[in-house]
A and B are shown apart, each in its own frame.
Chain A
Amino acid sequence: MWKWLHPYANPEVAYQFTGKLIPWFNGIAFILLSIGLFLGLAYSPADYQQGETVRIFYIHVPAAILSMGLYFAMAIAGLSALVWQLKLAHAAIAAIAPVGAAFTAIALITGAAWGKPMWGTWWIWDARLTSELILLFLYFGVIALGNAFEDKSQGAKAVSVLALVGVVNLPIIHYSVEWWNTLHQGATVTKFAAPSMAMSMYIPFVICFFGCAFLAGSLICKRFQGQVLARNSLRPWVKQLALAEDN
């Protein structure tokens, strides 16, 4: 497997490979999201308890899952940057962080828009929303630390350490916030009290989730390309690309 993976550690190969992936990701994301959103917004029935507001679910939950998942992905990239000294992992961390922050912001805003009809206020210190808010702070920390360093590879290593520390703390923060929430609010109605999701809701949700995931993948690939170029700016192949772009 290492033999097979090895060529992809070359920045030029990785640049071209991600370039080939992007149109596929875009196409799949477009198809899945149009089907998923059509099913979710127009076709699936309204929830008997929450009414039509349940349709926010199809964007809120995929965004929330991706926001957590991308943080883990970033931490894995950080681990490979520290352990195997992979230069490409540096570019991957810098590419993932803003996309993850964007999905966290979406999860927060849609959560607030859901809270208004459900609880009567835009913001409630609900465990899920509070965790997402803290996750957003963690993303901002990663982005700010990465930008603060003049030397890109030193910054990437610092960010790797921070991402790993953050990922160790994330479950602790999550559970402590959840526990704190039950302590102060008693039994609030959790958003997904329903024990099993109806099939008519589950299918559009899964389609929307994969649509969002492929969209995130395409965004990350594009940012990754930019980071790879910035970090290899003295290589001949990058210079050739820059000159080719000119014409």
Chain B
Amino acid sequence: MNPALSYRQAFNTILKRDLKIALRHRDDIVNPLLFFIIVITLFAISVGAMPNVLMTIAPGVIWVAALLSTLLSLERLFKNDYQDGSLEQLLLSPCPVFILVLAKIVAHWLVTSLPLILLAPLLAMMMNLHPDGYLALFLTLLLGTPILSLLGAIGVALTVALKKGGVLLSLLILPLYIPVLILATAAVEAATMNSPYQGHLAIIAALFFASLITAPFAVGAALKVSTN
């Protein structure tokens, strides 16, 4: 019986474990990305692929697609662990729940959102985004997608015990995503018009830190309810 792990050790253990599991299921990483690309393609085709139109809707479309593909991959966050019972074991461990939860969310973000951020410039090019908007898009995605993961984790934790959680999850979570969406698209739009967008970024960063501090506790409480 090893003595209690330090918080850092516990965090690292969970992080490594989740990353290892994710890398063994490559489909789970690739599929949301393909979804992201396909949604954007659909938008371009349905709107009519006129460069000017695409340019005006590009920030919104890219962000909505990123948001939906995050939502798609979120369900995996606790589902397998819940089904094989390891989630309950984690909750029973002496380590505070929020550290374990945070490690899982970070692992999830690294596996799903980071590739998406790296892919975004390519899609921004396809959507004919104004060159001035690239940096803003990158920064908003970098600060904004962790918020999506953190808030989404609350919804996943609430619905993990349910058989048909998928649609319910989007109903619970999408309204909470609205502030991030508004701020991020406004920032990218401001950047394309060559006006300052640091203010938007600062508010997104504030939301990020606020959710970083509070969301793990909410997730912990929700997981305790779900596992009963």
Indicate whether A and B interact: yes
Judged by a CB distance under 8 angstroms, whether A183 is at the interface is yes
* Pick from B165, B175, B183, B214: contact of A137, CB under 8 Å: B175
* Pick from A141, A157, A168, A169: contact of B171, CB under 8 Å: A141
Given A141-B171, A145-B172, A148-B168, A176 and B225 contact (CB-CB distance below 8 Å): no
Judged by a CB distance under 8 angstroms, whether B212 is at the interface is no
Query: What CA separation (Å) do A164 and B219 show in the bound complex?
Result: 12
From A82, A148, A166, name the one whose CB has the most chain B CB atoms within 10 angstroms.
A148
> How many A-B pairs fall under 8 Å by CB?
71
| Cβ B179 vs Cβ A161 within 8 A | no
Given A137-B174, A141-B172, A148-B168, A177 and B225 contact (CB-CB distance below 8 Å): no
Number of interface residues of B (CB under 8 A): 26
Interface footprint category on A? 20 to 34
On chain A, the residues within 8 Å of B214 by CB distance are 168
| Cβ B154 vs Cβ A161 within 8 A | yes
From B154, B171, B183, B225, name the one whose CB has the most chain A CB atoms within 10 angstroms.
B225
| Cβ B162 vs Cβ A149 within 8 A | yes
Judged by a CB distance under 8 angstroms, whether A8 is at the interface is no
Determine the main DSSP class of A at the interface with B. Answer: helix
Judged by a CB distance under 8 angstroms, whether B158 is at the interface is yes
On chain A, the residues within 8 Å of B222 by CB distance are 158, 161
| Cβ A177 vs Cβ B178 within 8 A | yes
Give residues 120-170 of A contacting B (CB, 8 Å). 134, 137-138, 140-141, 144-145, 148-149, 151, 154, 157-158, 161-162, 164-166, 168-169
On chain B, the residues within 8 Å of A164 by CB distance are 218
Closest chain A residue, CB of each to CB of B162: A148
Judged by a CB distance under 8 angstroms, whether A180 is at the interface is yes
| Cβ A158 vs Cβ B226 within 8 A | yes
Seen from chain B, the residues whose Cβ lies within 8 Å of a Cβ on chain A are 154, 158-159, 161-162, 164-165, 168, 171-172, 174-176, 178-179, 182-183, 186, 207, 214, 218, 221-222, 225-226, 228
Seen from chain A, the residues whose Cβ lies within 8 Å of a Cβ on chain B are 82, 134, 137-138, 140-141, 144-145, 148-149, 151, 154, 157-158, 161-162, 164-166, 168-169, 172-173, 176-177, 179-180, 183
